[in-house]
Amino acid sequence: MQVDTDFLVMRTKMKNKDSSMRNTYWLFGTRLSILAGHAETGGRYDLIEGWFSPGTQTPPHRHGAYSEQLYVLDGEFTVWAGGRKAVLRPGDHLTIPAGTAHVVAATGDAPGRGLVVASPSGLARLITEAGTPDEGGGAPSSVAPDMEHFLRVSAELGDELLGPPGALPD
């Protein structure tokens, strides 16, 4: 039997990490933990867990180089993408193709929690470079993102911010 040592090493690293010590950041009021990024996946994808307070909404945006798949674990999300609206509940998922303008919002009465797979890798870089590290307080950082830096990193990745938080894509 052949043993996949890369899998064992990753499993050991994840098992030994305290969940509060993961790569966790705040970005636009959303808490995002990077479970697997470019280094762990060879650039094939990013795996991110996100927590949204009720009413939290991303600004309208578009990822030019990677698709985004959202799988809902808890709560309710509404996604506006490609001129359509979808309401997602636990167990539902939606793929947003690269180049599609979209907004994701936690629209239920309770917090929303979901997994995002971005393929190929790119979203984790945006989060780590433009987000504010989570210090473990359980509340959103009071530090607003440096928008100039956020827009520069977004442009490097082929991402576009299409409007302010609260707006919906065309």
Q: How confident is the model at residue 18, as a pLDDT? A: 43
- Is 87 a member of any domain? yes
Total domains in the fold of the chain: 1
Q: Which two tokens stand for residue 17?
A: 């990490």
Report the greatest alpha carbon distance in the chain.
Answer: 55
For residue 120, cis peptide bond before it (omega within 30 degrees of 0):
yes
pLDDT at residue 22, as a whole number: 62
pLDDT digits over 33-86, tens only? Answer: 999 999 999 999 999 999 999 999 999 999 999 999 999 999 999 999 999 999
Has residue 140 been placed in a domain? Answer: yes
Asked whether residue 67 is assigned to any structural domain, the reply reads: yes
Query: How would you write the chain as a 3-class SS string?
Result: CCCCHHHHHHHHHHHHCCHHHCEEEEECCEEEEEEECHHHHCCCCEEEEEEECCCCECCCEEECCCEEEEEEEECCEEEEECCEEEEECCCCEEEECCCCCEEEEECCCCCEEEEEEEECCCHHHHHHHHCEECCCCCCCCCCCCCHHHHHHHHHHHCEEECCCCCCCCC
Write the CATH number for 141: 2.60.120.10
Say what the pLDDT of residue 165 is.
78
Residue 87 binned pLDDT confidence (cut-offs 50, 70, 90):
very high
Instruction: Supply the pTM of this predicted model.
Output: 0.82
Query: What pLDDT, on the 0 to 100 scale, is given for residue 14?
Result: 46
Examine residue 105 and state whether it is found in any structural domain, yes or no.
yes
Contact 125, 95 (CB under 8 A): no
Tell me, yes or no, whether 18 lies in a domain. no
Instruction: Give just the sign of the alpha carbon dihedral 110, 113, 114, 118.
Output: positive
The whole domain housing 95 covers 23-160
17 part of a folded domain: no
pLDDT in tens, 122-162: 999 999 999 988 877 666 666 677 889 989 999 999 999 99
What pLDDT score was predicted for residue 164? Answer: 84
8 occurs within a structural domain: no
Q: Is residue 167, in this structure, part of any structural domain at all?
A: no
